[in-house]
Structure formats: structure tokens, C-alpha cells
Chain A
């Protein structure tokens, strides 16, 4: 890819050294990040912690450090002290971080600098940029630049589908019909893993509700109610999620019997071995499945939630997004590395390698046939962020979901969500 010079061979080692220093203690990271290194460069601390790609970003950082002489980037891959660092006023200078409700709190409180003036910000697809605001928005600022989108649908075993002559279902009743076919042939229609509670939210809850109703709209109306939320308010879980939850329970009839004591790794193994036709997981599971059984032919389709195929959408999340805290004193240096990361070749290479999509307009399409089934939905911006991701940590929605799939009591589940949401809103009013 590139010729190795003496300095380039030295740099990775140096980055590794500084990186491990940053990893060992936050204090070490701060020392390394403060001031500038001996050769007159500005040193910035770059937070990026997605475990699967830490080494990939190590190489990117080394490339960037070798390519110019103004900025020296230190790769920090330990996010555990992120909130305390914000409290102390010493957050990372630039982060390439999973954007979720937790990260959105930095946006909501105005702790991130405005990136709206950058040319790169205007290249982001507006439909993707909207996803940021669905969790939080500070004034009219562009506080976060989406970097990588992962889209998730139903992973299915193409061989099993072809063997029993089942085509990809486009409506809810077609999905149930497919399930009945597989069940009658002794194949587990949908493998599920209730022991790892996040998988219940990721798959069953998010997929079904995402296609059955307007999740983002529901939560924005719910948030607008503030402390008036509750089971009898104009929007409530009892009213709007009833249909989706009934459908979730209907799917349970087509799940492996040992689902309550299986975890995520068990699910990957079961699906890779061909025990099941469908699996409600994201693209990250595809890599694991390939490791267990490279021969299994896998595809992905968006789960239908109604009788109208036009309602069907895919679950996305902003797997990585860039932001620069106001508290960083090295805004220019941070922006220099941000521009490097935003270069189309850098961004598109990363996303293609990780079964994800770039966030810019006219981003390249997915070539991998294992996820290309979701391409039309990404193209048309027919996507949503999972309903489970809208809950603040103070509401243990994952535990409630586990209770739901074990007890199958929809009413108790919905009332609990309404009551908890109301209580949370009231004490945070």
C-alpha cells in the first residue's frame, strides 16, 4: 500500500508506546496530550475504542503522523473515564465514538464545538445527519459528524431458504408463513438468545417496532410531553406499542426452546451451524458467523412489520461519529486530523471493510452480498434508530424486555414502561 521508510517504521512503535501510556492511566494520557511534543508538533489525544478496529485506527494514526509535521495524534482506546474527563474539563481533543443516547448528553449540554463551518459537514447526507438530532440537539449547531452507519436486519441462511423454496418475506404475514414452513420441516425459524438482554432489544424489539411504527416520531412526541407522560397521555407505550409487542410475542412461537439460557455467542454458533433459518442480529454477527463456519451462505433482509412492504425499514446506528469538545485547547490540530479522517478514500475504505456505510452524499454502495440486501433502504433513507436505544439508563428496559419474553405479559410490560418513563420525566423535569 505504501513504502515503508525508516521514520514510518519508527512511528507506529512510538504511537504504540504513547498509546499504551494513554491506556494505562488517564493521567498518562493527559500528560502526553498536554502541550506539544519535542519536535514542535501539537499533540492531540484521539479517542476511538471500537474493539474490532482499534488496530486499524492505530495504522491510520501512524499514517497521518507520518504524512505531515504539524500534528501528532495519540490514539486513546480506553473510554471508561470519558464522563469524569468532561467533568474535569480534560476530554479527548477528538473522538470517533459510538453515537448513542449516552454520547448525546454531551451534545444536549453544549459541551461539543460547532463543526457546521467545515466543508466536510456539508458533504454529510442530511438524512443521516438527522439521526444525530433524534437523540439531542444543541441550538442549531452541528455538534457531531456521523462517520459510519451500520444497518441491521434479519440475517438469513440462503441455503436453508432455497432448500425449502422460501423467498425473502416482504410483509408480516409472509414472515409468519415462512416461520411456519421452517417449523414444520424441523428447522428453528428464528434463533434467539434471551440470556444476553441486549440481543432482545437489538432484534425482536427494535426490528418489529421499527417497521410497525414511527419510532423517532413517537419518542419526540413522548419527550415533548415531559412530566405529563403516562399510560393515559396522548402518546404512550400502552397505546402506540401494543401492536408491535403482540407481534413480538407472536414470533416467540417460532424461536428455539432454549432461548432463555442462550447468549449471543451461542446464537452465532447455532446459526453458523445451520440450525436456524433466521437470526435477528447486526452485521457484527456476520463476521463471527464466518469465523465459525466460512461455508454458510448468509444474506440480510429488512424485517417487515406490517402488511404494507412500504412500511418496512432497517435499523441503523451511528456506529462511529466525530466530535470535538469545546474544552479542547487544540481545536485546529483536532480539525486537521478530522479532515484527514473525512477524506473520501479514508472513510470509504474503513466502511467497506467493516460492512458499514459511509455517511456522505453519494456514498459507495455495499458490495458484500451479505449486507447488500439492505442497500435500497439505506439509499432511500428508510431507516430508524432502535426503540431500545431511546431509553435513558435509569429505565432498565433490557431487563423489562427479558421479563416480557419469559412471562409473555404484554400489558404488564407496557404499563411498566409508561410508569417508569413518567417517573423518570417527573424527577428530571
Chain B
């Protein structure tokens, strides 16, 4: 959450107003600064300052109210010895990786389909867009019902015994249900970005390629995918970061269960607030923040200079 905000707020400073003369740029700069100030102030007040306060309290034994004292890095050391915390990290990373792959594969396929010469294109695009505008918790409760009641009943009628107990009650496979529902909600957003990318590719290149005798797969591999790579990066980074913060869909589907099998880091942090573990989970939040920043930086480093441009 905070990371995207940083990027958005930061992008304003990078933009240099072009234009000849000496007076106009200065004037324009002032305008840019004026546009920037409210965002920076609000961001500092509501994101940076609370973040710093949280970091401060992670070094104390604060319960959220009442007395507190400094305890140094004890919250951090006990965090790394807590299997429950470590398990939540493994689950969250696994979930985020799988969901990113699933979402991007499906979204790319759907975008290629919806960009093709098909009937009802606009209507179909609208239908595929619907999941995006429904709140995650609502989707989760609907799917919860489907997984717990509809699917087992259907399985019973087909005589498929393994399907008769809900996927959500299966300790080893409940994560799959969460991936399915998260992907269902996240695919449309990624499709839109891929569609934008596809529409930005001029038709002439495809025509030229076709004249040269390139088949559909060759055109995808050598033209579409390289030119779309920037959009793949955007979807991967934003998607992965979003999936790391998984919360509402898990709450609605499994509540972290069965047992603690699907307890995400965000859930662990939030549950600690209610449970008098404020300072301890603040330490967890700081570690998670650093982790998310590192992952995003690594992703950026990895993909830098791999983008292909037409010009």
C-alpha cells in the first residue's frame, strides 16, 4: 500500500516540464510544487508519521494504551523464534508467488482473446470486468458458500468422495481455494493493463510479420510478448506486492484456517492488535515492510533494461 503511494508521490518530482525560455519553466515548476505539496503533506501525516510511530513502539512493550517501557529489540528476537510468525511468512510468500503466476497467465490469455477480432467484444470486456468492482469480502463470502455447500453437494451427486468435504476444511489444499478466489478478483485488473498494452502495438508490425511468413505463435513470441514486457513487469510488481498484503479474502474464506494453515502476515499483524500484542506485531510489521521494499527493489533491478521499445 505504502509502496505504490511512494511511487505515485515520487513520480511528480521526476517529471521535468519541457519548454523553451527561462520564465515559463520556473512558473511551471511552481505550479508543480503547489500540486505536490498537499499530496506530500497528507502522505506524511497519514502514512509516514504513523509508520514512524509504529517503528518507535516496536521497541517497547506498549499494549495500545496504558503504560509502556523500552525493551530494545526483544520483540524482534522473539519474532524470529516464533514458528507461527515464520509459517505465516512462508504461506504468504508461497501464496503471492503462485497467485502472481496464475493471475498473469490467465490475464494475458484473456487479454489476447478480448483483443482479437471477436463478436460482442465490448460486452464481453464489460462482463470480465465485473469481479473487479465487487468488494473482496463479499466475493469471499459467496465463494465460501460455494466451496462449503454447492461443490460438496455436486461432488456427492457425481459420487466423487474426495470432493464431498469442503476444500476450505482441507489443511493441505485450503490455500488453493484462496488462490482461486483471489485470482478471480485480480485477473480483470491485470487484463485491463494488458489490453492497454496490446492496443498500443501498431497493427503494421503484425502485417509486416505476416508478409514475412510469421505464424501466430511466432508473432506472439517475437512481437507481442517483448512489446508487452513492460506491462508484464507492472502487473507482476503491483500484483505481487498486493498479494503479499492478502487479508480480506482470507478472512472471508478460511479465517486463517484450517488451524493456522492460511494465516497471512497481514492477518497475524492485525490479530495482534486486538490481542494486546501491539508492540510485538509492530515489530512484525516493520520487518514485513522492509521485506516488501526489498522484494520490490529486487524485482525492479531484475527487470531493468530488459524492456523493449519500438523506437
Do A and B bind?
yes
Q: Are A194 and B169 in touch, CB under 8 angstroms?
A: yes
Contact with B along A76-97 (1 / 0, CB 8 A): 0000000100110000000000
Q: Are B259 and A403 in touch, CB under 8 angstroms?
A: yes
Given contact pairs A83-B65, A403-B259, A403-B261, a sample of 10 additional A-B residue pairs in the complex whose CB atoms are under 8 Å apart: A86-B65, A261-B169, A393-B272, A393-B276, A393-B277, A396-B263, A402-B259, A406-B171, A407-B259, A423-B81
Asked if A197 is at the interface of the complex by the 8 Å CB criterion, the answer is yes
**How far is B85's CA from A427's CA once the two chains are assembled, in angstroms?**
14
Q: CB-CB < 8 A to B171: which residues of A?
A: 403, 406-407
* A→B interface (CB under 8 Å): 83, 86-87, 102, 105, 109, 111, 194-195, 197, 258, 260-263, 392-396, 399-400, 402-404, 406-407, 419-420, 423-424, 426-428
6 closest A-B pairs by CB:
A393-B275, A403-B259, A261-B166, A260-B169, A394-B277, A394-B275
Q: A83-B64, A393-B272 are in contact. Are A424 and B277 (CB under 8 A)?
A: yes
How many Å from the CB of B283 to the closest CB on chain A? 9
List 27 A-B pairs, Cβ < 8 Å. A87-B64, A102-B274, A105-B63, A195-B148, A197-B255, A197-B257, A258-B152, A260-B165, A261-B166, A262-B148, A263-B148, A392-B275, A392-B277, A393-B275, A393-B276, A396-B84, A396-B271, A399-B260, A402-B257, A403-B258, A404-B259, A407-B259, A420-B84, A427-B71, A427-B74, A427-B78, A428-B276
Q: Are B166 and A394 in touch, CB under 8 angstroms?
A: no
Q: CB-CB < 8 A to B263: which residues of A?
A: 396, 399
Q: CB-CB < 8 A to B78: which residues of A?
A: 423, 426-427
Q: CB-CB < 8 A to A426: which residues of B?
A: 78
Q: CB-CB < 8 A to B257: which residues of A?
A: 197, 399, 402-403
Asked if B212 is at the interface of the complex by the 8 Å CB criterion, the answer is no
Q: CB-CB < 8 A to B82: which residues of A?
A: 423
**How far is B263's CA from A403's CA once the two chains are assembled, in angstroms?**
13
Q: Are B275 and A260 in touch, CB under 8 angstroms?
A: no
Asked if B75 is at the interface of the complex by the 8 Å CB criterion, the answer is yes
**How far is B259's CA from A402's CA once the two chains are assembled, in angstroms?**
5
Q: Are B74 and A261 in touch, CB under 8 angstroms?
A: no
User: Which residue on chain B has the smallest CB distance to residue A420?
Assistant: B84
| Of the residues A86, A109, A111, A396, contact of B256 by C-beta under 8 Å | A396
Q: CB-CB < 8 A to B261: which residues of A?
A: 403
Q: CB-CB < 8 A to B59: which residues of A?
A: none
Q: CB-CB < 8 A to A394: which residues of B?
A: 271-272, 275-277, 280-281
**How far is B98's CA from A333's CA once the two chains are assembled, in angstroms?**
59
**How far is B65's CA from A105's CA once the two chains are assembled, in angstroms?**
10
Contact with A along B111-135 (1 / 0, CB 8 A): 0000000000000000000000000
**How far is B260's CA from A86's CA once the two chains are assembled, in angstroms?**
31
**How far is B257's CA from A83's CA once the two chains are assembled, in angstroms?**
27
**How far is B82's CA from A406's CA once the two chains are assembled, in angstroms?**
23
Q: CB-CB < 8 A to A427: which residues of B?
A: 61, 71, 74-75, 78, 277, 280
**How far is B64's CA from A86's CA once the two chains are assembled, in angstroms?**
10
How many Å from the CB of A35 to the closest CB on chain B? 25
Asked if B190 is at the interface of the complex by the 8 Å CB criterion, the answer is no
B residues 269-311 in Cβ contact with A at 8 Å: 271-272, 274-277, 280-281
Q: CB-CB < 8 A to B74: which residues of A?
A: 427
Q: Are A261 and B61 in touch, CB under 8 angstroms?
A: no
Q: Are A393 and B165 in touch, CB under 8 angstroms?
A: no
User: Which residue on chain B has the smallest CB distance to residue A400?
Assistant: B259
Q: Are A195 and B259 in touch, CB under 8 angstroms?
A: no
B residues 231-288 in Cβ contact with A at 8 Å: 255-261, 263, 271-272, 274-277, 280-281
Q: Are B65 and A109 in touch, CB under 8 angstroms?
A: yes
Asked if B195 is at the interface of the complex by the 8 Å CB criterion, the answer is no
Q: CB-CB < 8 A to A400: which residues of B?
A: 259-260
Q: Are B66 and A109 in touch, CB under 8 angstroms?
A: yes
**How far is B274's CA from A394's CA once the two chains are assembled, in angstroms?**
8
How many Å from the CB of B216 to the closest CB on chain A? 44
Q: Which of B71, B83, B260 counts the most A-chain CB atoms under 10 A from its CB?
A: B260
**How far is B252's CA from A263's CA once the two chains are assembled, in angstroms?**
13
Q: CB-CB < 8 A to A195: which residues of B?
A: 148, 166, 168-169
| Of the residues A258, A399, A420, A424, contact of B259 by C-beta under 8 Å | A399
Q: CB-CB < 8 A to A420: which residues of B?
A: 84
User: Which residue on chain B has the smallest CB distance to residue A86?
Assistant: B65
Q: CB-CB < 8 A to B281: which residues of A?
A: 394
Q: Which of A102, A399, A424 counts the most B-chain CB atoms under 10 A from its CB?
A: A399
Q: Are B271 and A402 in touch, CB under 8 angstroms?
A: no
How many Å from the CB of A195 to the closest CB on chain B? 7
Q: CB-CB < 8 A to B75: which residues of A?
A: 427
**How far is B280's CA from A161's CA once the two chains are assembled, in angstroms?**
51
Q: CB-CB < 8 A to A258: which residues of B?
A: 152, 164-165
Q: CB-CB < 8 A to B276: which residues of A?
A: 105, 392-394, 428
User: Which residue on chain A has the smallest CB distance to residue B255?
Assistant: A197
How many Å from the CB of A143 to the closest CB on chain B? 15
**How far is B277's CA from A102's CA once the two chains are assembled, in angstroms?**
12
**How far is B277's CA from A426's CA once the two chains are assembled, in angstroms?**
12
How many Å from the CB of B165 to the closest CB on chain A? 6
Q: A394-B272, A399-B257, A403-B260 are in contact. Are A260 and B64 (CB under 8 A)?
A: no
